[in-house]
Chain A
Amino acid sequence: MAGAGEGTGRVTAQLPILQVVVPLLAAPICAVLRHGRAAAWLAVLASWSVLAIALALLGQVMAGGVVSYHIGDWVPPIGIEYRVDIVNAWVLVIVASIGAVVTPYSVASVEHEIASRRIPLFYAAYLLCLSGLLGITITGDMFNVFVFLEISSLSAYALISLGRPRRALTAAYRYLIMGSVGATFIVIGIGLLYVMTGSLNMADLAGLLPGVWDSRTVKVAYGFLGVGICLKLALFPLHLWLPNAYAFAPSPVTAFMASTATKVAVYMLLRFFLSIFGAAFSFDVMALDRVLLPLALVAVVSMSLVAIFQVDVKRLLAYSSVAQIGYMILGLSFASITGLTATLLHLFNHALMKGALFMALGCVVYRIGSVHIDAMAGLGKRMPWTMAAFVVGGLSLVGVPLTVGFISKWYLILGALEKGGPWIAVAVLVLVTSVMALVYVWRVVEAAYLREFSGDEPTGEAPLSLLAPTWVLVAANLYFGIDAVRTAGVARQAAEVLMAGIGS
């Protein structure tokens, strides 16, 4: 039986499972609570402990290497293994920090946007989504990935459908159809790999796959996994579910999903294709870089262009998200350590900037009920703190120095220049699309600061409970933009681990 002294050591050993189990068990308790506020504070408590666990895990991994946890004491590859290395410890910290900021933000926002009898159910679905995303990231078992993918997706559909406009239902339904197709493709891919190797454990698969590389089944599995994951991460031609889902979901859901769900999907892509199949197979045999490069470039250019012409600012940012995902995939398509560093950095940085931007928009919705660009006229004077947050987030999106956006673009351009030759054009394209981002951010800034407010109803600043979490993310945008040593260091380490493969 546990003595008091060995108690802490025992808790440390259980951290990987607690990472998932804390929100997973808080969810059903939220669902049966009658009071929205009680459920809200339970969710806040859960999300903060999730962040503490994620940070502790990152510390453990940085200090002592890979952490492996055997569920039910079954030894892998037979049992399910939770395996934390620097790559997923990093993604866990991203997801957990966004969760820890968005949950307290949602307390006031949700009371304003969702019927009160549904609020406990909202938090149940929200915590399920959080635990699903954390589960995908932490597990070292392919089938477990699929299970958590379903948990996070199903709760995400429910969360989006809670949006106030009636069109939120069709948006959620469309996401449900496309998300289910994606999940089916992924499970078919996993099934084919299982047929070929008889294993579902990622590290084990990485060892077994080189023996069956030549078989067509493995290549078909690769294709299925690729299309399925790209549907989930909304890579350019497969992004159609995203704009409406983000535009019509409740504000905290948009902020949470935009900064976590697609990031976890990118992580899945990296984990499956680089860790399990291996960089050599992906880049040399399957030509992954040459497939992804044009898609990423088209995504960045066309979606930035579409974003310029949006009048609903939430939709504008949604299209911008698809473009930003293009940057992440672009980094991967460089097939180099620097490119991957840019991808991993942008996972974190984009979560910070889009989180801040969508949360600022949530403040606007709270006060004026609309994010149409005309409704935001003159808002700079009426809601100075909210719009200032939006401006800083927007500058970060453009990539202005002293913000995190600059760091991402810096590494991206560095990766392109490193390859030289025709890749210089890619670097130029990154600069051009940054100007396009400036155009769509400027349209909002112009409306808010230069246009006069025409109505007469007075609107005050958003309450502190919304502004404080928003500004936490804004401050993070600036802090990690000025001092990028730590984030860039972790991202580079993670990139090296990914390129080396899971075995080493």
Chain B
Amino acid sequence: MKKLLKSKWFIALIVLLLLAAGAVLSLIPGSPVKNLLKPVQLVGSPSQSIVKRAGDTITDFWSAITDGVAIREENRALKEQIADLRYHLTQNEEAALRYEELKDALHIKDMFSNYVIYGASILSRESDEWFSTIRLNAGKADGIVLEEGNSYPVLDVEMNLVGRVIETSDTESRVLPLLHEGFAVAAKVNAVNGATFMVYGDAELKNRGLCLAKNIDPDARLEPGMEIVSSGDGGLFPEGIPIGVVESVDNSNPLEVTATIRPYSQIGKLEDVFIMIPYVEPEETTAPTASQGT
């Protein structure tokens, strides 16, 4: 018995069983098991920030050397553009004031006016095809409070869909990217009476940077090149968030028409993103809390 307890294979087996049990327990909503990782996070996050900053500095320095001539030329063109824009800005200031007055008068709403937008930077990306969540530097302390079963859309700087927040800690949030096989969003063709369907992340298409569109009406008009936006059905994502363009349509089975979608957002190239949280009136609660979208 003593020999067995000292055996490295026995110890390894026990560790593996404990880790497997931990993994299963972490799937239970509100499980405290994840708190065991907090010390690692305390040590890991600062060291990762240092490495990232050092890498960015090296990349920037290298870009400054290689792009020097191009940057000088671009700078000259931009200066001319700024002068031109300043002129136009002066011209448009009055028009903007008029628009604000009319906007209130005509009850025109901005597309996402019911949402509070939080900016965040990407801390870490996927480390492999299966370890693929994204970590952001905004958490509960920044107002990103997530209740069980809820989620918030995440957009890039051009307001294209990137993914959704699925977990928050005090200082960080985790995002399920659009290409992940667990991702789903109700979508439509960005046209009057455009066809509606569901867009899913798909393991088979993920490696090619594509999503899958399913539940498409066989009579719907769907062609490559058409723009796809969120439809607002289901309540999680507001209507009109750009998702991507149709890459191909498969009509081979009329009962199950599918299409591939190429998302606009290029997660690998993103540095900053925006989290959309449904706005709650201050009298109801002091901080924006997790409630379903419009």
- Chain A bound to chain B: no
